[in-house]
Amino acid sequence: MDFNSQLFVQYLIIGIASGALISLIALGYTLVYGIVELINFAHGEVFMMGAFAALTLVAATGVTGDSSAGAIIGVIALALLGAMVFSALLNFGIDRIAYRRLRNAPRLAPLIAAIGFSFILQNIGIYWHGSNPITPPSIIPAEYRAYNILNEWFDLETRIRLRPLDLAVLAVTIPLLVGLTWFVYRTRTGKAMRATAQDREAAALMGIDVNRTIATAFLLGGALAGAAGMIALYYNNAARFQMGFRYGLFAFTAAVLGGIGNLAGSVIGGLCIGIVWAMSDGFMKEYVPAWGAQWTPAVIFGVLVLVMIFRPSGLLGEQTVDKV
Task: Report if residue 306 touches other proteins, rule: CB under 8 A.
Answer: no
DSSP track, 213-271: HHHHHHHHHHHHHHHHHHHHHHHTT-B-TTHHHHHHHHHHHHHHHH-TT-HHHHHHHHH
Task: Report if residue 264 touches other proteins, rule: CB under 8 A.
Answer: no
- Least distance (Å) between residue 184 CB and other proteins: 12
Piece of the chain touching other proteins by CB under 8 A; list 196-204, 241-249, 269-277, 290-298: 196-204
Task: Report if residue 313 touches other proteins, rule: CB under 8 A.
Answer: no
Residue 47's H or E segment, with its range, is helix 43-61
Q: Judged by CB, which is closer to other proteins: 209, or 286?
A: 209
Q: Which of 12, 31, 192, 215 binds other proteins (CB under 8 A)?
A: 192
Interface pattern 210-229 for other proteins (x via CB under 8 A): x-------------------
Buried b (16+ CB within 10 A) or exposed e, 164-179: bbbebbeebbeebbee
Task: Report if residue 195 touches other proteins, rule: CB under 8 A.
Answer: yes
Q: Nearest to residue 19, comparing CAs of 278, 270, 293? A: 270
Q: Which of 56, 67, 138, 198 binds other proteins (CB under 8 A)?
A: 198
Q: Which residues pair with 134 in a beta bridge?
A: 239
Q: Nearest to residue 50, comparing CAs of 215, 297, 221? A: 221
- Least distance (Å) between residue 250 CB and other proteins: 28
Burial of 285 from C-beta contacts in 10 A (0-12 / 13-18 / 19+): middle
Q: Which of 108, 155, 201, 309 binds other proteins (CB under 8 A)?
A: 201
- Least distance (Å) between residue 206 CB and other proteins: 5
Q: Judged by CB, which is closer to other proteins: 59, or 109?
A: 109
Q: Judged by CB, which is closer to other proteins: 12, or 203?
A: 203
Piece of the chain touching other proteins by CB under 8 A; list 42-50, 125-133, 168-176, 208-216: 208-216
Task: Report if residue 207 touches other proteins, rule: CB under 8 A.
Answer: yes
Task: Report if residue 106 touches other proteins, rule: CB under 8 A.
Answer: no
In degrees rounded to 5, what are phi and psi of residue 323?
-70, -175
Q: Which of 209, 279, 311, 313 binds other proteins (CB under 8 A)?
A: 209
In degrees rounded to 5, what are phi and psi of residue 85?
-65, -45
291: alpha, beta or left? (left if phi > 0; alpha if psi -120 to 50) = beta
Name the residues that contact other proteins, by CB under 8 A: 188, 191-192, 194-195, 198-199, 201-210, 322-323
